[in-house]
């Protein structure tokens, strides 16, 4: 029972790691906040393509079609839901739409 | 097998740049990729040690230890032996967009990892702003 408890504590524990952050210049005149994020689920560390990242810009532009997106904060997080078994990579971008 | 193929495509860093909008201009998407081969001598030493139980395995291990003394500081991916492989990035960007009117750059530093070797990649997606009259190809 004790071993099952210890094992389940290990398997069910999840944590988030911040892999990288970047910020572009924040404009003096701040417009509407626009947010976009892309996620990639990884099972047993198998991941063969990172092309999902390309969608993030299109998602930002879609929310601000006739304006410029400035002051973009980009976060790249690695989330472990079940160690070894299931991970998620989350990339989020947040900026201001100036029209 | 599980550990041989683990983490084949790894993202190290992502940066999203500002997206500009100009009246009467269209955004033409482009993608750039530059890469260099990374080699992990530590991994190579471990493999050769486990494959050969003789002196050859030990000497590879010693070489790996010496090389590791010269590799300090934070890093992403496996070591590359051409430190200037990313220097041509700006020139390559201007080739993609000769007007220099570039916007919406998404920079991805990634790695295609295999045992001992890796592909250390810098990928850039962006848009070249072109006048609507000079439009060629797909509009984004």
Q: Are B79 and B68 in contact (CB under 8 A)?
A: no
Contact B9 A91 (CB under 8 A): no
Q: Which residue has better confidence, A8 or B111?
A: B111
pTM over 0.95: no
Nearest to B21 among A50, A56, A66 (CB): A66
Instruction: Give me the pLDDT at residue B137, please.
Output: 52
Nearest CA in chain B to A69: B19
Per residue in B7-35, pLDDT (tens digit) is: 588 999 999 999 988 888 889 999 999 99
Q: Is the confidence metric ipTM above 0.90 for this complex?
A: no
Instruction: Give me the pLDDT at residue B110, please.
Output: 92
Q: What are phi and psi of B133, to 5 degrees?
A: -70, -30
Instruction: Give me the pLDDT at residue B125, please.
Output: 93
Q: Which residue has better confidence, A12 or A5?
A: A5
Strand B117-131 and strand A86-98: the pairing is unpaired
Q: Are B76 and B119 in contact (CB under 8 A)?
A: no
Contact A74 B19 (CB under 8 A): no
Q: Is B95 helix (H, G, I), strand (E, B) or coil?
A: helix
Instruction: Give me the pLDDT at residue B16, please.
Output: 93
Confidence of residue A70 (pLDDT cuts 50, 70, 90): very high
- For chain B, the maximum distance between any two Cα atoms, rounded to a whole number of angstroms, is 71
Per residue in A34-53, pLDDT (tens digit) is: 999 999 999 888 888 889 99
Mean pLDDT of the residues in chain A: 89
Per residue in B75-132, pLDDT (tens digit) is: 888 888 888 888 888 899 989 999 889 999 999 999 988 888 889 999 999 999 998 8
Q: How far apart are CA A73 and CA A85, in angstroms?
A: 30
Long-range contact set of residues B93-99: C-beta below 8 Å, sequence gap at least 24: B93/B32, B93/B124, B93/B126, B96/B30, B96/B32, B96/B126, B96/B128, B97/B28, B97/B30, B97/B126, B97/B128, B99/B128, B99/B129, B99/B130
Domains in chain B: boundaries: 2-39+78-131, 41-76
Q: Are B78 and B120 in contact (CB under 8 A)?
A: yes
Instruction: Give me the pLDDT at residue A10, please.
Output: 67
């Amino acid at each position: 029972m004790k071993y099952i408890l210890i094992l389940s504590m290990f398997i069910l524990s999840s944590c988030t790691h911040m892999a990288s952050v970047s910020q572009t210049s924040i404009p003096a005149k701040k417009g509407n906040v626009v947010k976009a994020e892309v996620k990639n689920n990884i099972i047993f560390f198998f991941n063969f393509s990172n092309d999902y990242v390309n969608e993030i810009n299109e998602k930002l532009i879609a929310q601000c079609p006739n304006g410029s997106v400035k002051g973009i904060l980009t976060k790249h997080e690695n989330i472990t839901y079940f160690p070894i078994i299931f991970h998620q990579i989350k990339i989020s971008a947040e900026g201001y739409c100036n029209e | 097998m599980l550990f041989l193929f683990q983490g084949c495509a790894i993202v190290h860093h992502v940066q999203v740049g500002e997206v500009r909008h100009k009246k009467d201009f269209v955004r033409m998407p482009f993608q750039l990729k530059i890469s260099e081969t990374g080699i992990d001598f530590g991994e190579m030493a471990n493999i050769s040690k486990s494959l050969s139980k003789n002196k050859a395995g030990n000497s590879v291990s010693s070489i790996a230890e010496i090389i590791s003394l010269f590799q300090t500081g934070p890093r992403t991916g496996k070591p590359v032996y051409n430190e200037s492989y990313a220097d041509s990035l700006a020139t390559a960007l201007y080739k993609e967009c000769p007007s220099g009117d570039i916007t919406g750059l998404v920079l991805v530093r990634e790695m295609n990892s295999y045992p001992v070797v890796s592909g250390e990649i810098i990928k850039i997606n962006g848009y070249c702003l072109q006048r609507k009259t000079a439009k060629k190809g797909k509009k984004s």
